[in-house]
Amino acid sequence: MAGMRFKEEFYCGTECGKYFLTYLRTNMNGNYTVECPHCGHHHYRVVRDGIITQDRHKDEYELSRSVLILGLESTIRDTPWHDDPDFKRQRLRVIDGGN
Protein backbone atom coordinates (compact mmCIF):
# COMPACT_ATOMS: atom_id res chain seq x y z
CA MET A 1 0.00 0.00 0.00
CA ALA A 2 1.38 3.40 -0.98
CA GLY A 3 0.13 5.41 2.00
CA MET A 4 -2.01 8.52 2.09
CA ARG A 5 -0.74 11.36 -0.09
CA PHE A 6 -0.68 15.03 0.92
CA LYS A 7 0.87 18.28 -0.23
CA GLU A 8 3.98 19.76 1.34
CA GLU A 9 5.13 23.32 0.72
CA PHE A 10 8.76 24.35 0.38
CA TYR A 11 10.33 27.78 0.41
CA CYS A 12 13.52 28.24 -1.59
CA GLY A 13 14.65 31.23 0.46
CA THR A 14 18.40 30.99 0.02
CA GLU A 15 18.21 30.80 -3.76
CA CYS A 16 15.19 32.13 -5.70
CA GLY A 17 12.73 33.13 -2.94
CA LYS A 18 9.84 31.12 -4.43
CA TYR A 19 7.35 28.76 -2.81
CA PHE A 20 6.42 25.43 -4.39
CA LEU A 21 4.55 22.23 -3.58
CA THR A 22 5.36 18.57 -3.79
CA TYR A 23 3.50 15.46 -2.66
CA LEU A 24 4.57 13.16 0.17
CA ARG A 25 3.04 9.89 1.32
CA THR A 26 2.61 8.66 4.86
CA ASN A 27 4.79 5.61 4.13
CA MET A 28 7.81 7.76 3.16
CA ASN A 29 10.72 7.48 5.60
CA GLY A 30 14.37 8.38 5.21
CA ASN A 31 16.52 10.92 3.39
CA TYR A 32 14.95 12.89 0.57
CA THR A 33 16.29 15.63 -1.67
CA VAL A 34 13.59 18.02 -2.90
CA GLU A 35 14.50 19.99 -6.03
CA CYS A 36 13.11 23.48 -6.55
CA PRO A 37 11.35 23.55 -9.94
CA HIS A 38 12.23 27.23 -10.44
CA CYS A 39 16.00 27.31 -9.84
CA GLY A 40 17.03 23.67 -9.31
CA HIS A 41 18.27 24.23 -5.73
CA HIS A 42 18.30 21.07 -3.61
CA HIS A 43 16.65 20.94 -0.18
CA TYR A 44 17.99 18.02 1.89
CA ARG A 45 15.39 16.70 4.31
CA VAL A 46 14.69 13.74 6.56
CA VAL A 47 11.10 12.46 6.30
CA ARG A 48 9.31 10.32 8.87
CA ASP A 49 5.87 8.89 8.11
CA GLY A 50 5.47 11.39 5.27
CA ILE A 51 6.20 14.44 7.43
CA ILE A 52 9.25 16.64 7.01
CA THR A 53 11.32 16.71 10.21
CA GLN A 54 13.63 19.46 11.42
CA ASP A 55 16.59 17.23 10.52
CA ARG A 56 18.71 17.75 7.41
CA HIS A 57 21.11 15.41 5.68
CA LYS A 58 24.27 16.79 4.12
CA ASP A 59 27.20 14.41 3.99
CA GLU A 60 28.15 12.47 0.86
CA TYR A 61 27.10 9.10 2.27
CA GLU A 62 23.62 10.35 3.05
CA LEU A 63 23.30 12.18 -0.29
CA SER A 64 24.06 9.02 -2.24
CA ARG A 65 21.22 7.24 -0.40
CA SER A 66 18.74 10.10 -0.79
CA VAL A 67 15.64 9.90 -2.98
CA LEU A 68 15.13 12.86 -5.33
CA ILE A 69 11.69 14.47 -5.36
CA LEU A 70 10.94 17.10 -7.98
CA GLY A 71 8.87 20.11 -6.95
CA LEU A 72 5.79 20.81 -9.04
CA GLU A 73 6.54 23.55 -11.58
CA SER A 74 2.86 24.46 -11.86
CA THR A 75 2.81 25.40 -8.15
CA ILE A 76 5.60 28.00 -8.13
CA ARG A 77 4.42 31.17 -6.39
CA ASP A 78 5.72 34.27 -4.67
CA THR A 79 3.48 33.90 -1.61
CA PRO A 80 3.00 30.89 0.69
CA TRP A 81 0.26 28.40 -0.02
CA HIS A 82 0.03 27.22 3.60
CA ASP A 83 -2.39 30.05 4.43
CA ASP A 84 -4.95 28.52 2.05
CA PRO A 85 -7.95 27.05 3.97
CA ASP A 86 -7.85 23.80 1.94
CA PHE A 87 -4.22 23.26 2.92
CA LYS A 88 -4.99 23.84 6.61
CA ARG A 89 -7.90 21.34 6.53
CA GLN A 90 -5.73 18.76 4.80
CA ARG A 91 -2.89 19.10 7.32
CA LEU A 92 -5.32 18.83 10.25
CA ARG A 93 -6.68 15.56 8.81
CA VAL A 94 -3.16 14.14 8.46
CA ILE A 95 -2.04 15.14 11.94
CA ASP A 96 -5.35 14.17 13.53
CA GLY A 97 -5.33 10.73 11.91
CA GLY A 98 -8.07 11.41 9.39
CA ASN A 99 -10.77 12.58 11.78
Residue 99 counted as domain residue: no
Residue 28 counted as domain residue: yes
What does the pLDDT look like over 54-85, one tens digit per residue?
Answer: 888 775 555 567 788 999 999 999 888 767 77
Domain residues for the domain of 45 are 5-94
Residue 2's pLDDT is: 65
Does 1 have pLDDT greater than 80?
no
Cβ atoms within 10 Å, residue 81: 14
Bridging pattern class, strands 30-35 and 67-70 = parallel
Residue 47 counted as domain residue: yes
Q: Could you give the number of structural domains in the chain?
A: 1
